[in-house]
A and B are shown apart, each in its own frame.
Chain A
Amino acid sequence: MGGGVILFFLSINRTAESMPPIFSGDVVVAADPLPQALVITAIVVGISVTAVALIMFISMYHKFGTTNWLKAMKHRLEREDE
């Protein structure tokens, strides 16, 4: 899902003749640099969120002993009754 969002961002304001605005030569149509800046931030955020979620997932697996969400839900409800 994250990949789809990133591709979508790259397609914003892109035209065939636009060039990267890095060299200060005679660039006629520069590509809009802002979506790239946004995308790199989105990637960083996405990676860190995934890392946190995986760590949580591992510790949840240790507590519940299952990777199935429905089973985990049942376990949680049982613990509520105790």
Chain B
Amino acid sequence: MILYAFVLIPIIAGAVIYLIPKKQMRWVAFALQIGLVVLSIYNFALIRLYGPSEIVLGNFAKIAGITLRCDTLSGALIILTAFIFLICFIFGLMDKFVNNLFIFFFLTLQALVMTIFLSRDLFNIYVVTEVSTIIVSVLIMFKKDSRSMYDGMLYLITNIAAMTFFLIGLGFIYKIFGSLDMNIIGARMHEIQDAKVLAVPFAFLMTGVSLKCAFLPLFSWLPKAHATPSAPSVVSVILSGLYVKCGIYLFIRIREMFMPALEMDNIFLIIGILTGVVGFILAMSQKDIKMILAYHTISQLGIVLIGITAGGEYAYYGGVLHLFNHAVFKSLLFLSAGIIISKYGTRDISKIRGVFKKMPYVSIMTFAAILGITGAPLFNGSISKYFIQSGVKGGIVEYALILINLGTIISFIKFSTMFFGGSVKDRIHVAFGKKAAVTIMAIMCLLMGMGGTLVIRSVFNYSVSINMIEYIKKTAVYFASLAGGYLVYMKYLKKMKFIKEGLEMELSVNGIAISMTAFFIFIAGAAYFIAI
């Protein structure tokens, strides 16, 4: 029964709040968020004690009905969802743009994200993702600025096209297996005699999911949607911190489902490396601080993909842990970027100076996130990156990871130039709620860094250990790349043309559609040849 609560309570509460036009209703929403966090932790504890819980809607047989199933991974992701929405409410509760309509959309989105994490029925996932796409595009253009109109429209059209791919793919799956339940399909997968029949549905499903995850050729919608100028920063936090995780989550599930018959980890490993590299190169060349962060989302998603597909349990759990860590530090970065933008009135990184002297408190908290994303020792990024690296030890992939991390460091050196300079005189006041939100997130950065092994143990019941000597080696590599990155940036890159003027990866809808088709043909062809 508790699983229904995650889906229904936010939507019903959102509708009630919308119908009662009182300003005080936002406090109801806030209380609801706290309740949901408590409930999700309780749910997780139940799953840990008694195993996965499962509900079939409408008392149908399992093969025909719609199942909601919650295992530890979904449970942990639900805690993450409730937690990040709570932080967003703390951060944005007093902002002007938050009216009851906004709260309605926001709560509905929360319910839909939770449903994606819970649902095991492919068609249900399709419907929920489609609806959440509409809500996200409405949230992107919430302030009705003309640029965000374009961004929201681009987001909507590309994602609808991707979900149509997904729909055709699930039709094929139904034709082959006679069921839409992921667990049943996964269990029947080994009965497939000729894995070549799976190539086409696999490619259809994966094209849809890959666009949601913004893998290499399909990412050009992401920076626009996540960093559109007029969208409120809480929306950017939800999109970049949480909503892309739905894509990765579906990727994990679908990969698991096809695992017995069709395995394409090597192809996706290469895609992951390329995504990571291209992401940081584009991030380096941006001037807009939100754009820098959005391109880093792409790069970090590449790292998560590397972790998941590299093979070996350490790398896999490292990848999943990095997914959680990325949610924490990227949310923190977007929150503080939101504060800085609203106080300075500009988004150009070359015009923002002296943040440290004007807002020392916020700056310190932001540094925690920067240390996290670059993988500094003791902070959360380092643990997950350590696990991924020890999973792929001694290969070309390890060097690729070091390269991606170096690129991340270089572009965050550029990012942190805005903290310096300026004068102490004009301190800027930051509201209490915003301070509280960034503080909680910064503490989470540090805690997840200290207790990364504990998180893996409690979520997957798999105990991992950190080899101290290896960890110290990684620390040395980190400091070496920090110094190297600083030197390279100051000496060469600062003067290079594309860093100064900005590199644009601009595709129109037609371009995105062509790249989507090309990606589909590539995956289908590769799957056809790999399947034996």
Partner of B152 from the list A56, A64, A69 (CB cut-off 8 Å) is A56
Besides the known contacts A52-B134, A56-B149, 18 further A-B residue pairs in the complex with CB atoms under 8 A apart: A1-B164, A2-B164, A9-B171, A12-B174, A12-B175, A41-B123, A42-B167, A45-B127, A45-B131, A48-B134, A53-B153, A56-B156, A60-B150, A63-B149, A64-B150, A75-B146, A80-B147, A80-B229
Q: How far is the CB of A55 from chain B (nearest CB, A)?
A: 10
The 0/1 profile, CB within 8 Å of A marked 1, for residues 164-188 of chain B is: 1001100100110010000000000
Interface residue? B313 (CB, 8 A) = no
Q: For the side of the interface on A, what is the size category?
A: 20 to 34
Residues B175 and A5 in contact, CB atoms below 8 Å apart: no
Q: How far is the CA of A76 from the CA of B510 in the complex (A)?
A: 16
Residues A77 and B160 in contact, CB atoms below 8 Å apart: no
Q: Which residues of A contact B164 (CB under 8 A)?
A: 1-2, 5
Q: Which residues of B contact A12 (CB under 8 A)?
A: 171, 174-175
Residues B146 and A63 in contact, CB atoms below 8 Å apart: yes
Please name 19 pairs of A and B residues whose Cβ atoms are closer than 8 Å in the assembled complex, sorted by A: A5-B171, A9-B171, A13-B178, A34-B64, A35-B171, A41-B127, A49-B130, A52-B138, A53-B160, A56-B141, A56-B156, A59-B144, A59-B149, A63-B146, A63-B149, A69-B508, A69-B510, A70-B508, A73-B150
Q: Which residues of A contact B229 (CB under 8 A)?
A: 80
Q: Which residues of A contact B508 (CB under 8 A)?
A: 69-70, 73
Q: Which residue of A lies closest to B510 (CB)?
A: A69
Q: How far is the CA of A52 from the CA of B150 in the complex (A)?
A: 14
Residues A64 and B146 in contact, CB atoms below 8 Å apart: yes
Residues of B107-153 whose CB lies within 8 A of A: 123, 127, 130-131, 133-134, 137-138, 141, 144, 146-147, 149-150, 152-153
Residues B146 and A13 in contact, CB atoms below 8 Å apart: no
Interface residue? B426 (CB, 8 A) = no
Q: How far is the CA of A48 from the CA of B131 in the complex (A)?
A: 9
Residues of A24-82 whose CB lies within 8 A of B: 34-35, 38, 41-42, 45, 48-49, 52-53, 56-57, 59-60, 63-64, 69-70, 72-73, 75-77, 79-80
Interface residue? B157 (CB, 8 A) = yes
Q: Which residues of B contact A8 (CB under 8 A)?
A: 168, 171
Partner of A76 from the list B133, B134, B150 (CB cut-off 8 Å) is B150
Interface residue? B506 (CB, 8 A) = yes
Contact A77 B153, CB 8 Å, known A2-B164, A45-B130, A49-B130: no
Q: For the side of the interface on B, what is the size category?
A: 20 to 34
Q: How far is the CB of A72 from chain B (nearest CB, A)?
A: 6
Residues B157 and A53 in contact, CB atoms below 8 Å apart: yes
Q: How far is the CA of A74 from the CA of B508 in the complex (A)?
A: 10
Q: Which residues of B contact A48 (CB under 8 A)?
A: 134
Q: How far is the CA of A80 from the CA of B212 in the complex (A)?
A: 26
Residues B153 and A57 in contact, CB atoms below 8 Å apart: yes
Residues B123 and A60 in contact, CB atoms below 8 Å apart: no
Q: How far is the CA of A8 from the CA of B149 in the complex (A)?
A: 34
Q: Which residues of B contact A56 (CB under 8 A)?
A: 137, 141, 149, 152-153, 156
Q: Which residues of B contact A59 (CB under 8 A)?
A: 144, 149
Q: How far is the CA of A75 from the CA of B147 in the complex (A)?
A: 9
Interface residue? B349 (CB, 8 A) = no
Q: Which residues of B contact A76 (CB under 8 A)?
A: 146-147, 150
Q: Which residues of B contact A45 (CB under 8 A)?
A: 127, 130-131
The 0/1 profile, CB within 8 Å of A marked 1, for residues 363-404 of chain B is: 000000000000000000000000000000000000000000
Q: Which residue of A lies closest to B124 (CB)?
A: A41
For B138, B144, B171, B508, the residue with the greatest tally of chain A CB atoms inside 10 Å of its CB is B171
Q: Which residues of A contact B171 (CB under 8 A)?
A: 5, 8-9, 12, 35
Residues B160 and A49 in contact, CB atoms below 8 Å apart: yes
Q: Which residues of B contact A60 (CB under 8 A)?
A: 149-150, 153
Residues A72 and B150 in contact, CB atoms below 8 Å apart: yes
For A48, A63, A75, the residue with the greatest tally of chain B CB atoms inside 10 Å of its CB is A63
The 0/1 profile, CB within 8 Å of A marked 1, for residues 234-271 of chain B is: 00000000000000000000000000000000000000
Q: How far is the CB of A33 from chain B (nearest CB, A)?
A: 9
Residues of B456-496 whose CB lies within 8 A of A: none
Q: How far is the CA of A35 from the CA of B170 in the complex (A)?
A: 11
Q: Which residue of B lies closest to A64 (CB)?
A: B146
Q: Which residues of A contact B90 (CB under 8 A)?
A: none
Q: How far is the CA of A5 from the CA of B175 in the complex (A)?
A: 13
Interface residue? B13 (CB, 8 A) = no
Q: How far is the CB of A54 from chain B (nearest CB, A)?
A: 11
Q: Which residues of B contact A77 (CB under 8 A)?
A: 506
User: What are the 10 tightest A-B residue pairs by CB atom distance, in nearest-first order?
Assistant: A63-B146, A76-B150, A60-B149, A12-B175, A56-B153, A45-B130, A69-B508, A52-B134, A63-B149, A9-B171
Interface residue? B509 (CB, 8 A) = yes
Q: How far is the CA of A42 from the CA of B78 in the complex (A)?
A: 27
Q: Which residues of B contact A75 (CB under 8 A)?
A: 146, 150
Q: How far is the CA of A13 from the CA of B179 in the complex (A)?
A: 12
